[in-house]
Structure 1
Amino acid sequence: MRRWTAAALMLLLGWQAGGTPAQAVANDRSLLPLMAAWQQALAQEQPDVAGALRWPRGGDVAAIGALMFELADVAPLSRAPLPAELAPYAHQFAGDMMKSPVLVRVAMRGEQPMYLAFNKRPDTPPSAAVRTWVGFALGPAGQRLVAQQPGLRPLTGAELSRELSKVDGYVAPLDPALPIYVAGAPVQGEISSVGSDGMKSLMERWMNDFRALQPGVRRGQRWEHLGTLNGFHALMANETDLAPMGRELWPDEAAAYASQQGCQQPLEIRVARGGFNTPQRTTAQAVFVNAGNPLQSITLPQLAAVLGAAPTITRWGQLGLTGDWANRPITVAMPPRITPNAMSMQMMVLKGRAWNAAAREASVADTAKAIAADPATIGFGGLEDGAPGLKALAVAPGEGSPPVQLNGETAANGRYPLTRYMYIRLQPQPGQALPPPVREFLRFILSRQGQEPVVYSGYFPLTAAEVAAELAKLE
């Protein structure tokens, strides 16, 4: 059986992708002097950022590996990544939905763009340090340094504006009242974790940062994050200490757990708030109507009266519309009832009660099409499931409460009523305290240091009040 070296495999795949063998393995280091010049200049303005930012010195062939294993914050690239480089990258970040790094043009060499590459979760800005570095590189001082490099030219004003937009995005603030984790007596031991692929990167970051403060703790034999259901079944089988899960515990799961373990439910610790526009991740739920529908907002009780069994709101006039709309029947379109979106809405809005029997179930894409095609249809899903012809309604918790539009700020601060959480679930022994390594690890996650990386994960950090409620569960 032939064994391929990494270089030979890259050569083969690069050739098949349409490049020449030389192009596939060429290692351009021409940006390294510019990177060093930027770092030296930035150190005069912001020494903390310049000194802490990590970037690989090995040229093009080192860039993707450094980013893939998050050993670098930014990486210089004189070309776009090759298909052979992106295949393992997309697999590494499957739970984060990152199929490639973000490429920001920072200079031109003839007609060839020169890039800074960095990781960015969908609908999440890069870290403050990366934004600072990119902003400097694309700013007047950074572009003057580009002009001083042989063979490179700075970008035009229009080009700079386009590239700067790639680091835009809502950045959720950290609650200043979040507690600082201070390591007490050293703890030792292993912690196993099985669960959500969407929390894989967070779990890795949390453990790495925690071990810097508690080096006696290490990953257990099971440390695998392939999916939320994996975590649930590992918990049921007593095969893990921690089960990171990206959604609520569904009623059937709670019943199965109680039957298996002889207790009501596992200990449930909220560790982050869900996002608001992140594909295939835990997001807030949007309520959609046709773009031509004049309705602007809805309350949770009204929504329950539309979506629930034996609905009491069946016509648009009951939601306040007049004229030709008053007697028009409401049609309900929804994703399949077994999907996370539907299960989440059933728990949050219907409190576990049955659905409207007349609701039309279809795939997420077909549900969006149905709403866009019919002005009298209402439905729901993640904001990322929206499409041309749809409008997301503002949602109020109840009568007399102001309706809240779904956006980054209202999802992050919890004002939008249909936000969700990320959890770590575990099975404590009755009458016994949590094992010290587990308790300290959870205390770290529920600290300012633990919540800081959540800001750049596609999710949102908890408030100090939410953290206090979760910390109380550890006592």
Structure 2
Amino acid sequence: MRRCPAARLTALLLAGTVLVSSFPASATIIDDRYKPYRAVSDVTGDLRIEGSPALRKYVLLWSEALMATYKGVRAASRFDGDAPAAAALTDGDIDIAAMSREMNSAEEGRFRDAHGYAPTEVRVGVDVLTVFVNKDNPLDCLPMSKLRDAFSAPSVTWGDLGATGNWAAKPVLRLGYRPGSSEAGFFAAKVMDGQSFASDMKTFDKSSEVVDRIGKDEGAIGYAPVGYRTGREKSLRLSTDDGKCILANQMNAYRRDFPITRFLYMYVDKAPDTPLSPPVREFFTYAFSLDGQKDAALAGYYPLPYVYSGQEIERLGLKRLD
């Protein structure tokens, strides 16, 4: 994964004046070096996107903005998962594969065998899963090893996780997502170290349902995208091997300090020295505009750092808006 040293990224991120936008109940910062999108002429055609449910909001917001701007653009999308999207891009059935992970070597190899060149990878945003507990919970920080125990051990009390007094004997109510969901897979990859989720974990389809239940049950613990805070719960800081407690916030996500952080990706079939089709070109031009990054915040994710967006624009053969 391409990375920028933390100190340099911090300086680059804070180099310009920033614009404050809003998650459902928290604030995010959008670098105002991003410029508003400007419509161009003669953009028509179909735009076919398939991918992970994790990028559903991105895809819908950006494609709907494109269709509202260009009446001759028809966008269609489906969200059956990462692997089907990679296969569909290789087969030429779609224009964009929206993925919650990087293509693996087998997927990229099949694309190379079919086309003679690699798919073009584009980072479009930063996703963070926050560990939430009820606002009355006395814990503030949890080691990653205890977080794994909280979701895998057969029976866990809050005393096992470090709480004392009246909280020590309280059972832990584990909340998560249905098996096969993008959120469950992301959390398992970052936290579970190969262990299975406990059989008594209650699962939900929507992040709002997870967070709502945490706010109502003082013994609950769960995880959800950072944008779903409501004020009836609180985020736990997480500590890794060095013992430092890290809060889930925008800067820690950009530095990759918070352990449950990932980039979100889109892949396109771009032959060398061949321009993108007008609908695909304007989809990404909008995505890397101020308007597109506001949509990213509305979708519950952190915008892509401005310095990274320049790399993606160059990779796509596009020009930065001015």
Using the size of structure 2 for normalisation, the TM-score is 0.59
Conserved? CA contact 1:307–1:332, under 8 Å: yes
1:151-190 correspondence to structure 2 within 5 Å: 172-178=28-34
Please tell me the residue identity of whatever aligns with 2:164. Answer: T
Distance 1:402 1:267 in 2: 36
Conserved? CA contact 1:393–1:405, under 8 Å: yes
Distance 1:385 1:170 in 2: 8
SS of match in other structure, 1:462: coil
Q: CA deviation at 1:200?
A: 2.4
Which of residues 142, 153, 162 is equivalent to 1:298? 142
Which of residues 241, 244, 250 is equivalent to 2:95? 241
Conserved? CA contact 1:361–1:367, under 8 Å: no
Please tell me the residue identity of whatever aligns with 1:435. Answer: P
Aligned to 2:65: 205
Query: In the alignment, is residue 268 of structure 1 matched against residue 121 of structure 2?
Result: yes
Which structure carries more strand by proportion?
A: 2
Percent identity over the alignment is: 17
Distance 2:305 2:124 in 1: 10
Computing the radius of gyration over CA atoms, which structure comes out larger, 1 or 2? 1
Which of residues 329, 341, 344 is equivalent to 2:186? 344
Which of 1 and 2 has higher RCO (CA within 8 Å, sep 6+)?
2
Distance 2:263 2:146 in 1: 23
Aligned to 2:222: 379
Conserved? CA contact 1:298–1:403, under 8 Å: no
Unaligned runs of 5+ in 2: 1-21, 318-322
SS of match in other structure, 1:392: strand
Conserved? CA contact 2:214–2:233, under 8 Å: no
Deviations 1:29-75 (A, max 9, x none): xxxxxxxxxxxxxxxxxxxxxxxxxxxxxxxxxxxxxxxxxxxxxxx
Using the size of structure 1 for normalisation, the TM-score is 0.43
Conserved? CA contact 1:290–1:372, under 8 Å: yes
* 1:465/1:293 CA distance change after superposition, 3 Å: same
Which of residues 257, 275, 279 is equivalent to 1:435? 275
1:111-122 correspondence to structure 2 within 5 Å: none
Conserved? CA contact 1:455–1:461, under 8 Å: yes
Q: CA deviation at 1:248?
A: 1.0
Distance 2:297 2:170 in 1: 44
1:68-467 correspondence to structure 2 within 5 Å: 172-178=28-34, 192-195=47-50, 198=57, 199-206=59-66, 219=73, 223-227=75-79, 229=81, 232=85, 234-243=88-97, 245=98, 248-249=100-101, 257=107, 261=111, 267-273=120-126, 284-307=128-151, 316-317=158-159, 319-323=161-165, 332-350=174-192, 353-363=194-204, 365=209, 369=213, 372-373=216-217, 375=219, 377-382=220-225, 391-396=233-238, 398=240, 399-404=242-247, 418=260, 422-429=264-271, 432-433=272-273, 435-437=275-277, 440-441=281-282, 444-445=285-286, 447-449=288-290, 451=292, 453-454=294-295, 457-459=298-300, 460-467=302-309
Conserved? CA contact 1:272–1:462, under 8 Å: yes
Q: CA deviation at 1:425?
A: 2.1
Q: CA deviation at 1:467?
A: 1.5
Aligned to 2:19: none
Aligned to 1:24: none
Which structure carries more helix by proportion?
A: 1
Q: CA deviation at 1:269?
A: 1.5
RMSD of aligned alpha carbons: 5.2
